[in-house]
Amino acid sequence: MPLQKFIIDIHNFIAQYSDLVIEENPVGFPDTPFSYLYFPEKKLALHCVFLENAIDVSTFFQKISQLFAQKDLRVIHLWEDIWQTKRSIVESRLMSLFGKSETIPARLTQVQRIDKPTMDKFLINNHLQSKVNAKLKYGLFLPSRYFRVIQNERVLQENINKEAFLVAIASFSNAKKIIREGQEYRSYELIRFANYKGFTVVGGLNKLLKMFIDEQAPDDIMTYADADWSDGTNYEKIGFERIELTLPLTFELDNETFTRKLGDENSKNKIYNSGNWKFLMKLKDDAGTE
């Protein structure tokens, strides 16, 4: 099938910044009405989902992901509306996957509490799922004395008169009492984590989690990973346990404005995502000690 314009744009963007081999719709990949861009060196496929074709099966994208996992390959379901409305953030995520983003060591940064306007602005500019309510909000700041590690001239100019550059944030819920296996836990949710687009703070989430744990002493922390984009492996690397894959979410999509909102089976022009991977970090053992 001919490639859609938005897929050509993705192809050209990646080719501009990377010399990775790109294969279009390889033979043997799961059947789809959409298109694949495959990067054999990374064992990664972009499943480029254009809006002209509708899928009525709620589990379609989950099943595609499972078929790729069986081949020990990773797939990202990249929707046209997300590319159109969040293009710079998508480009940043792709560059991070291909090892092309700037890196900042977390040891150079400092953790501080931030307010809601600061969090909201950061998430709008740097997270695919945008802003969300959260009780506890933390920011990771790079002090000006370390600005020398930044190579991006635009970012340097934007922060030249600041004492610190906000490079990552993490937000958490308030504590909830959860009964699990007959024992009560003070459980929190890690709601959002995001790096400043174009940058990866190496060890950043670990540092933010440590401050949160030191201040709040949670019994456990729960979080979700968007299964359209991630299998959540990075959460497992820092101590989270994989719990389950949730059911796909239903959205109502506006093809004119490229906007989506949560919907239900009665929604017009409904679409389904791949669900979310649920993870849990246990910080209290079965005997009730920290």
Q: Determine the pLDDT at residue 268.
A: 85
Instruction: Summarize pLDDT for 6-51 with one digit per residue, the tens.
Output: 899 999 999 998 899 999 999 999 999 999 999 999 999 999 999 8
246: enclosing H helix or E strand: none
pLDDT at 286: 53
Nearest-angstrom CA–CA distance, 115 and 130: 16
Query: What radius of gyration, in Å, describes the C-alpha atoms of the chain?
Result: 20
Mean pLDDT along residues 230-258: 93
What pTM does this model have? 0.92
What's residue 22's pLDDT?
95
Mean pLDDT of the chain: 93
Distance between CA atoms of residues 82 and 198, nearest Å: 17
Rounded average pLDDT over 270-289: 84
Residue type, 42: K
Selected residue with higher pLDDT from 138 and 263: 138
Which CATH superfamily includes the segment(s) 102-282?
Answer: Gcn5-related N-acetyltransferase (GNAT) (3.40.630.30)
- Which position has the higher pLDDT, 257 or 54? 257
What mean pLDDT is predicted for residues 86-108?
95
> Could you tell me the residue ranges of all domains in the chain?
5-97, 102-282
Inform me whether the pLDDT recorded for 193 exceeds 90.
yes
**4 has pLDDT over 90:** no
Q: What is the pLDDT of residues 103-134, one digit of tens each?
A: 999 999 999 999 999 999 999 999 998 778 89
Q: Which amino acid is at 278?
A: K
**2 falls in which pLDDT band (50, 70, 90)?**
low
pLDDT of residue 287: 44
Residues in contact with 177: Cβ distance below 8 Å, sequence separation at least 6, in sequence order: 184, 185, 186, 187
The CATH number of 5-97 is which of 3.40.960.10, 3.30.1300.10, 3.30.470.10, 3.50.50.60?
Answer: 3.40.960.10
**What mean pLDDT comes out for the span 255-274?**
88
pLDDT at 96 > cutoff 60: yes
Mean pLDDT of 159-186: 94
